[in-house]
Structure 1
Amino acid sequence: MKQSGRRQRMAILTIVVLLLLTVFASGVAIGVPAARVAVSDATVTPATPTAGAPTTVTATVRLSGGSTSAVTLDRVELVSSDDDNFRDDVVARATDLGSLSAGETLTVPITATFDTPGEHDLRIRATVTDADNDETTVTRPISVIVEQGVPQVSFDAPNAVVGADSSVQATVSNPTNAALRNLSVRIMTPETGERSVREIPVLAAGTTTTLNLSVQPRQPGQQQLTADISYLTPSGTVQTVDETELMRVKPLANDVGVRVSRSTGNNQNNAGGVAGGIGGILGGQSDLQAGGSQQDGAEQGEVDVTVSNFGNAPIDSVVVIPQTANGTIVTEIGRVIVDETLSPGTASTVTVDTAQAEQIGQLRFAAAYELAGERHTVSAKFNRQTPGAVDLTGVDLSVKSNGSVDLRSNLANTGGSEISGVVVQVVSSEYVTPEYPRRSYFVGTLGSSEFAPVELTASVDVQNATEVPVRIQYTVGADRVVETTTISLPPNDETDGTTPGGGEVGVILSVLLVGAVIVISGVFIMRRRE
């Protein structure tokens, strides 16, 4: 009986021990996961990511050889931590990636785009499921440094004008370390939408280019100007970037002038119809060549018509139209093209031959042009009559032995119109100085074919001076004319009084005369004593 009870206790003890061993073994098995997975490696392509361009993070997921179960790789995610909300934000994700057996690896690319440059601290998160549908998640930290990757654009429209094509200068730069291709730059305003487009086939890394575009604002004041750039990234994707700035738009100023003058043959602006000069018998030279003097090959009847754009917008299709005084087009002369475009602040001159319209005394030249889509006309009259001109006649110049000069002459108006504000003066030079009382002489107004006497005084260095310069200033029409001539001095032996040294001869004669008087007086006294 006792032995039977002992056997029962031993059997119970054995069963208990076996149960404990089973429980212990089960506990150990539960503590060791069937799938031991890890993210063993991670790379970033390109090596230097740029903002706005695709960046690929390649993760290598490995299932350890000691795993007791194969796994299914459910997803691999690229996540960033949102510290404010204490949650992870998924940047990019790859799913349905296949399965892994013990000891195998699987490479998974994840592509994301980073809009802002700088350092981005991320984590790669891989999730697997084993044969018992148990889910395991592992992570690996990774840092991605993103450079400024979009093309930069700045633009300026300093002369924007309402209703007119206004130039915009856009500067486009590529701050990345790779070439950008197929850049399309569009400048737009909210009022008109797309206005101007320019293309850049290739913009190399680190380079800058400047584009000239245009807009046509409709309202004055501050307006928004937007640059829209689309381009092909180094990875082959099309990206778009916008930039907005303010531009100041000015009201349109229509200010065009026409000037007509007799041609000098060199197609340059002159005194505006002033003719003549004080050459001729005096051989003088003019500081300002007068129109109408047939110089430099200018033909009889040719006139220079100058169109000037004083406004703030370009004028286009500029044409000069010769007309009679009542506005009838002179077909014998015909229209003359001045310029296709005349920018603000510029002028253009054309020479028009009026010889075929000699019977018309007074002409009018109209300049027709287009401004901000509208046609305009401005004109100027031109009188074919020879304008006023001056000439010195009957010159009488005397030089005294002390160097004082007295010049007397007549100033004549040899032109066909009145001149006014006439002033004649001696010009100071190295050997000539204007002297009181008549350094200058005011004549005033002279009608056509009239003349007035002129008197001038000066002093000269008679040993060195050979001529006296004389300047004549006068106004004809709306122009102030300045002309200079030179009048030759007579030789030294033709001066008034005595020739140089004549004063010394007079002194000698005086001394001899006094000596003779003294001798005669002495003889007379001696004879009295005898």
Structure 2
Amino acid sequence: MTRLLTLLVVLCLVVPATVVDVAAQSDESQTAVASITDVTVSPTQPIVGERFTVTTTIRNAAASQSSLTINEVTLERISGNDVADVRNLGSLAPGGELRIPLTSEFAEVGVKRLRVVVDAESNGEDIELRYPLTVTVREGGPQVSISVDDAVVGTETTATVVVANGEDATARNVRLSLAGENVAVDDGDRVAPQIPSGETREFAFTVRPATTEGAVTATLRYTTAAGDTVTVDERLSLAADPLREDVGLAANVVEGGVEPPVLVDVTNFGNAPLSRVVLSAVADGTVVTRRAVDPIPAESSRSVRFNVSNVPEGDLTVRVDYETGASEGRVETTVPYRTNPGRIELTGVDYEREGDRLYITGSASNVGLSDVDSVIVSVVPGAGVQPARPYREYFVGTVPASDFVSFDLYAAVDANATAIPIRIEYLSDGIEQTSVYEVPIDDRQPTSGPSPATNGPSPLVFFGGGLVVLAVLATGGFLYLRR
């Protein structure tokens, strides 16, 4: 009996101690109770090239008996490729919470299937936590589009780049560049301090295709509201037509006026504009005048009223020089040119005999359409003709257009004179003009001696004597009757 009681006492003393030790050992071996409580993405739908942040919240439950050591947090694709990670984040006590941000970006649009992976340990045991998420990457930001006018090889044309900011935030520090493949771009950079939300900007560039096939690429760089630099590229293939050069030229003299203008029609039948157009008039191999003409677009024409001056009558060559594409060209045509400046002709010329002199009268008539100045008419010495006083020459002066001024001249002539030459001198549009007009002598005096036809007195002598006899007889009869 005594031995049984002793054994029971020993058991009572040993068993509680064993139970307590097992419980203590169970508490020490328990791992932390950890979880991912939240994952957020900001911005929720990032645009191409824009950095976004995935914030993961890790919690160690308050009921945990151990701390949680976080070795690594990784953002990865479902395929297993890492997108971003962070390591050695320290320990998290029971009841503690930790927010871990991971930042990345994508270069293409689309839905990205990702997951957050937490690699931790507690009481020597590895713990892995996973959290799936989806990120939608959109084009976003300012949108870029390119349009090019009709293009011809070697010819300048305009490429227009449109930047439209449909975002809620302003795009700052905007820089736009345009580059070409087989296409030359003049001054390919544009800058703007900002493009506010909802605004659209157009940027024009001058481009020149070198071949029939090429491309242009617009690159837009800007800063977002978050301070990120974003790059957007847009490419446009360009098909250019081969250069077709065809220029027509027509010219006509406008009738009327002293120096009538020339109406010139230049027609561009080609597919490229004509630039640096110069219109020239050439007379006797000399360029008498020239004029620059505005560029002529493809498949269009331009009419030019071309004034010329101091051009003699004759053929006038009208010439057009131009550039189209990368080449130079020339077309020309010839028109008969007739001027009508002031010109003096003698009209109403007559003469009277005064002994051995002829008194000449007439008019210096201006048959042109401009005034003539310093008109002088004079008798030209010649065979049987000499200038005589008092009017050897006569200063007429100015004769208005379509008007006349009378003059008087004297010339001494002998029996050998058949005509009286009269010189006309004047200034027309500042140019000295000279001409000679001959006045025929119709009643030349006969030489002395009997007439070769009768070899005796002239019949006029008998006729005059008869008249005298009749007068004497009539007078005598009248006196006789009065007696």
User: TM exceeds 0.5?
Assistant: yes
2:86 to 89, 94, 97: 94
Mark the CA change 1:117 to 1:70 in structure 2 (over 3 Å): closer, same or farther: same
- The one-letter code sitting in structure 1 at the alignment partner of 2:116 is I
SS at match of 1:22: helix
> 1:81 matched to which residue of 2?
78
SS in 1 for 2:78: strand
CA shift in 2, pair 1:51/1:189, >3 Å: closer
List per-residue Cα deviations over 1:92-113 (Å, max 9, x = no partner): 2233445444444333322122
Please say if residues 146 and 234 of structure 2, whose CA atoms lie closer than 8 Å, have aligned partners that are also in contact. Answer: no
Q: Which residue of 1 aligns with 2:156?
A: 165
Matched letter for residue 380 of structure 1 = T
Counterparts of 1:93 and 1:53 in 2: how far apart (Å)? 18
* CA gap 1:116/1:146 in 2 versus in 1, 3 angstroms: same
Q: Are the equivalent residues in 1 in contact too, given 2:74–2:118 (CA < 8 A)?
A: yes
Q: Which residue of 2 aligns with 1:292?
A: 255
Q: Structure 1 stretch 108-117 or stretch 7-16: which is displaced more?
A: 7-16
Structure holding more strand per residue: 2
- 1:492-521 deviation digits (Å, cap 9, x = unpaired): xxxxxxxxxxxxxxxxxxxxxxxxxxxxxx
Maintained 8 Å contact 1:50/1:176:
no
CA distance in 2, matches of 1:49, 1:13: 70
Q: Distance in 1 between matches of 2:23 and 2:94?
A: 26
Instruction: Say if 2:292 is the partner of 1:345.
Output: no
Per the alignment, in what secondary structure is the counterpart of residue 81 of structure 2? strand
Residue 239 (structure 1) aligns with: 230
Q: 2:317 — aligned with what?
A: 364
Deviation per CA, 1:172-199: give whole Å up to 9, x if none.
4344443334444444332357656253
- The one-character-per-residue Cα deviations of 1:253-290 (angstroms, maximum 9, x if unpaired) are 1222333233xxxxxxxxxxxxxxxxxxxxxxxxxxxx
Cα 1:226–1:116 change in 2 (3 A) is: closer
**Residues 66 and 20 from structure 1, CA distance in 2 versus in 1: closer, same or farther, beyond 3 angstroms?**
closer
Distance 1:211 1:12 in 2: 97
* Aligned equivalents of 2:125, 2:34: Cα separation in 1: 13
Which residue of 115, 128, 131 maps to 1:123? Answer: 115
Task: State the AA in 2 paired with 1:292.
Answer: E
The correspondence of residues 305-344 of structure 1 with structure 2, limited to 5 A, is 305-324=264-283, 328-330=285-287, 332-333=288-289, 335-339=290-294, 341-344=295-298
* SS of residue paired to 1:26: helix
How many pairs does the alignment contain? 338
Alignment-derived partner of residue 431 in structure 2: none
Gap change, CA 1:70 and 1:195, over 3 Å in 2: farther
Distance change in 2, residues 1:236/1:305 (3 Å): farther
How far is the alpha carbon of 1:247 from its aligned partner? 2.6
- Residue 354 of structure 1 aligns with an amino acid whose one-letter code is V
Take 2:143 and 2:118, find their aligned partners in 1: how far apart are those partners?
38
Q: CA deviation at 1:206?
A: 4.9
Deviation track 1:317-376 (CA, whole Å, cap 9, x = no partner) reads 211122235xx342x42x21112x33212333443321222x252221222222233332
Q: Is the alpha carbon distance of 1:146 and 1:178 closer, same or farther for their aligned partners in structure 2, counting shifts above 3 Å?
A: farther
What corresponds to 1:111 in structure 2?
103
CA-to-aligned-CA distance 1:446-485 (integer Å, 9 cap, x gap): xxxxxxxxxxxxxxxxxxxxxxxxxxxxxxxxxxxxxxxx
Letter in 2 for 1:318: V
Question: What is the DSSP-based 3-state SS (H/G/I as helix, E as strand, rest coil) of the residue aligned with 1:216?
Answer: strand
Q: Distance in 2 between matches of 1:70 and 1:28?
A: 13
- Residues 366 and 378 in structure 1, CA contact (< 8 A), matched pair in contact too: yes
Corresponding residue for 2:25? Answer: 26
Shift of 1:121: 4.4
Q: Contact 1:187/1:195 (CA < 8 Å) preserved in 2?
A: no
Counterpart amino acid of residue 366 in structure 1? R
Q: What TM-score do you get using the length of structure 2 for normalisation?
A: 0.59
Which residue matches 1:37?
34
Q: What code does the residue aligned with 2:329 have?
A: H
**Distance in 2 of aligned mates of 1:311 and 1:182:** 43
Q: Which residues of 2 match residues 173-212 of structure 1 at below 5 A?
A: 173-192=164-183, 197=188, 199=190, 201=192, 202-212=194-204
Give, as a single letter, the amino acid of the residue that structure 2 aligns with 1:37: A
1:52 maps to a residue whose letter is G
Deviation at 1:163, TM superposition (A): 1.5
CA distance change for structure 1 residues 194 and 61 in 2, over 3 Å: closer, same or farther? farther
Query: Percent of pairs identical after alignment?
Result: 27
**What's the counterpart of residue 250 of structure 1?**
241
CA-CA distance at 1:126 after TM superposition = 3.1
TM-superposed CA distance for 1:384, in Å, is 0.8
Match for residue 332 of structure 2 among 366, 379, 390 = 379
Cα distance in 2, alignment partners of residues 320 and 293 from structure 1:
22
Give the residue type in structure 2 aligned to 1:49.
Answer: P
Instruction: Report the counterpart of residue 52 of structure 1 in structure 2.
Output: 49
Secondary structure (helix, strand or coil) at the match of 2:188 reads strand
> What displacement does 1:252 show?
0.6
Shift in Å at residue 251 of structure 1?
A: 0.8
In the alignment, is the contact (CA less than 8 A) between 1:181 and 1:231 conserved in 2?
yes
Kindly provide the amino acid, as one letter, of the partner of residue 378 in structure 1.
V
TM-score, with structure 1 as normaliser: 0.55
Q: What's the RMSD between the two structures over aligned residues? A: 3.5
Higher relative contact order (CA 8 A, sep 6+): 1
Match of 2:21, SS state, is: helix
Q: Which runs of 5+ in 1 are unaligned?
A: 83-87, 263-290, 387-530
Per-residue CA shift, 1:137-194, capped at 9, x if unaligned?
3334444344332543343435211122233344443444433344444443323576
Give yes or no for contact 2:280–2:319 (8 Å, CA) kept in 1: yes
Q: 1:106 to 1:20 in 2, by over 3 A?
A: closer
Secondary structure, counterpart of 1:173 in structure 2: strand
Q: Which amino acid aligns with 2:323?
A: E
**Residue correspondence of structure 1 range 117-516 to structure 2 within 5 A:** 117-130=109-122, 132=123, 134-157=125-148, 159-192=150-183, 197=188, 199=190, 201=192, 202-220=194-212, 222-262=213-253, 291-293=254-256, 300-324=259-283, 328-330=285-287, 332-333=288-289, 335-339=290-294, 341-357=295-311, 359-385=312-338
SS of structure 2 residue aligned to 1:253: coil
SS at match of 1:336: strand
Aligned partners of 1:113 and 1:100: how far apart in 2? 29
Secondary structure (helix, strand or coil) at the match of 2:209 reads coil
The question of whether the paired residues in 1 share the 8 Å contact of 2:182 and 2:215 is answered with no
> Matched residue of 2:310: which SS?
helix
Alpha-carbon distance in structure 2 between the residues aligned to 1:93 and 1:329 = 84
